[in-house]
Amino acid sequence: SSSKLLIKGGTVVNAHHQEIADVYVEDGIIVSVQPNIMVGDDVTVLDATGKYIMPGGIDPHTHLAMEFMGTETIDDFFSGQAAALAGGTTMHIDFVIPVNGSLTAGYESYTQKAKKSCMDYGFHMAVTKWDEVVARDMEIMVKDKGINSFKFFLAYKGSLMINDELLLEAFKKCKSLGALAMVHAENGDAVAEGQKRMIELGITGPEGHPLSRPPVLEGEATARAIRLAGFINTPLYIVHVMSIDAMEEIAKAQKLGQKVIGEPVTSGLVLDDSKLWDPDFTTAAKYVMSPPIRKLGHGKALQAALSTGVLQLVGTDHCTFNSTQKAFGIDDFRKIPNGVNGIEERMHVVWDLMVESGQISVTDYVRITSAECARIFNIYPRKGAILAGSDADIIILNPNSSVEISAKSHHSRTDTNVYEGLKMKGKVEVTIAGGRVVWENDELKVIPGSGRYIKMSPFNYLFSGISKADAAYLSSLKAPVRRFRDQS
């Protein structure tokens, strides 16, 4: 294929604007966006008449090649990204997990894992313990390694979880570095108690998973993280918002003027927990993720919160384990590796659920699947836009075609699919990554090693303004000078 590409006659959609135009690409960069671009015959021409030309999806939340719960995710940086490209996602941000608590060792390890990448990617970093070395390494990550966000786990007691004391230290560090704090919000101590209860009741199957960690534990941890971030006066990003309880805490804080970003994930928007009661273990276990997929009604409420802006962008938490790995928990739901697929399905599910249903506009679709993520992580408009000068990460979506999701046809290495059988209106017919057509006519043309690491710089603009806590402190400096009472 040529390094010169013209996409003709489609509706170009950005988060702010849409218009009928052509898009001309050279050497991986969008050169111009305007009607009726004329080119020579050395240029590959794609006809997009009647279709949408949009920025490729950016998935803010994935776990590729992650060691977790005694095993490693079945999708690595190549297979997970190939699946992403087949579904219209052209970039993702993966969570580096420290090695024995070391951030720098984690960074080196993930840099190696990501060498086989076939699309662009960035990193967040998980922080799972606290000491001087971790604090220093956070600074190295932000200043030298292109990481501007850190994830803290209030769940997974005994492995990834940190306590409030450490969370406060970490928030302070994020604030001073201009990095964004992200939180997995479930009360890990209460989850352990809930799990104990289930085992005592003899409930050992996958249904014990949602029963042991109800929405109230997500609501509590979300509220706590929000209040502590507000106390430190640093912005907060709540990952995988799965319940009304958590969403309402975010809405409340935003109303009070606090900078809180809420990320629902594909599974939480479209699925409900009924399948966890399926008598077939493999079927039920594939839905086990944390926080759990909730009862019917939570997903609808999260969709509504996306359409009103309480939640700003959609991730997947793509974290795949095959049936053999899920079977580690055949006798005890606590040992089922947590995680579901979604990197390939997100763009289609969100289109059908949100746009086709009339809940949001096409420009909003671009915002919640791509542009907002690029803005939050400071890579806009290089990513997340169809503008002259942007990277040529582009999809062509046909709103009149459709897809049926199945493990039989998906590109992930896992052998099940939590969206099995869903028929989604709208189809990503072409994916262009870095100026190359990588998905066309239901065929992938991916090259390991062609993906680039996208460095993300700190974003101090989020930290302007003064919090109520800081205002109270400043006014306390002007407190009256107190004298001892007159002794006479």
Interface positions with ligand URP (CB under 6 A): 63, 184, 240, 289-290, 317, 319, 338-339
Closest CA to 411 of 284, 318, 312: 318
Least gap, CB of 443 to Zn ion (angstroms): 30
Contact region with Zn ion (CB under 5 A), list: 51-59, 224-232, 280-288, 312-320? 312-320
Evaluate whether 330 touches 281 at the Cβ level (below 8 Å): yes
Cα 144 to Cα 107, 134, 460, 480: the distances in Å are: 12, 15, 16, 46
Give the residue closest to ligand URP by C-beta. Answer: 338
Site string for Zn ion, 174-193 (x = CB under 5 A): ----------x---------
**12 touches which of Zn ion, ligand URP, none (CB within 5 to 8 A by kind)?**
none
Tell me the helices (H) and strands (E) count for the chain, helix number first.
Answer: 16, 18
Minimum CB distance to ligand URP smaller for 339 or for 434: 339
Minimum CB distance to ligand URP smaller for 63 or for 427: 63
CA torsion angle 169 172 174 177 (round to 10): -120
Contact region with Zn ion (CB under 5 A), list: 202-210, 314-322, 398-406, 473-481? 314-322
The β-bridge partners of 432 are 394, 437
Evaluate whether 8 touches 46 at the Cβ level (below 8 Å): yes
**338 touches which of ligand URP, Zn ion, none (CB within 5 to 8 A by kind)?**
ligand URP
Q: Please tell me whether residue 8 binds Zn ion under the rule CB under 5 A.
A: no
Evaluate whether 207 touches 277 at the Cβ level (below 8 Å): yes
Evaluate whether 268 touches 240 at the Cβ level (below 8 Å): yes
**19 touches which of ligand URP, Zn ion, none (CB within 5 to 8 A by kind)?**
Zn ion
Structure tokens at 287: 């839905």
**75 touches which of Zn ion, ligand URP, none (CB within 5 to 8 A by kind)?**
none
Structure tokens at 414: 């896992």
Site string for Zn ion, 128-147 (x = CB under 5 A): --------------------
Give the residue closest to Zn ion by C-beta. Answer: 184
**417 touches which of ligand URP, Zn ion, none (CB within 5 to 8 A by kind)?**
none
Q: Please tell me whether residue 245 binds Zn ion under the rule CB under 5 A.
A: no
The length of the chain, given as a count of residues? 488
Least gap, CB of 319 to ligand URP (angstroms): 4
Q: DSSP alpha helices (H): ranges in 201-322?
A: 208-212, 215-232, 244-255, 266-270, 281-285, 298-308
Q: Please tell me whether residue 317 binds Zn ion under the rule CB under 5 A.
A: yes
Can you tell me the distance from the alpha carbon of 23 to that of 394, in angstroms, rounded to the nearest whole number? 10
Minimum CB distance to ligand URP smaller for 312 or for 320: 320
Provide CB contacts within 8 A for 186, sequence distance 6+: 154, 155, 213, 217, 218, 221, 290, 291
Least gap, CB of 70 to ligand URP (angstroms): 13
Minimum CB distance to ligand URP smaller for 56 or for 315: 315
Evaluate whether 413 touches 320 at the Cβ level (below 8 Å): yes
Site string for Zn ion, 15-34 (x = CB under 5 A): ----x---------------
Least gap, CB of 325 to ligand URP (angstroms): 12
Least gap, CB of 223 to Zn ion (angstroms): 17
Minimum CB distance to ligand URP smaller for 238 or for 289: 289
Least gap, CB of 386 to Zn ion (angstroms): 10
Can you tell me the distance from the alpha carbon of 185 to that of 225, in angstroms, rounded to the nearest whole number? 7
Can you tell me the distance from the alpha carbon of 242 to that of 228, in angstroms, rounded to the nearest whole number? 21
Closest CA to 153 of 185, 121, 111, 115: 185
Least gap, CB of 155 to Zn ion (angstroms): 7
Evaluate whether 235 touches 181 at the Cβ level (below 8 Å): yes
Structure tokens at 310: 């309480």
Minimum CB distance to Zn ion smaller for 316 or for 370: 316
**289 touches which of ligand URP, Zn ion, none (CB within 5 to 8 A by kind)?**
ligand URP
Minimum CB distance to ligand URP smaller for 68 or for 453: 68
What SS3 string covers 281-295? HHHHHCCCCCCCCCC
Closest CA to 211 of 196, 223, 226, 224: 196
Contact region with Zn ion (CB under 5 A), list: 14-22, 126-134, 252-260, 448-456? 14-22
Contact region with Zn ion (CB under 5 A), list: 81-89, 141-149, 206-214, 316-324? 316-324
The binding site for Zn ion (CB under 5 A) comprises 19, 184, 317
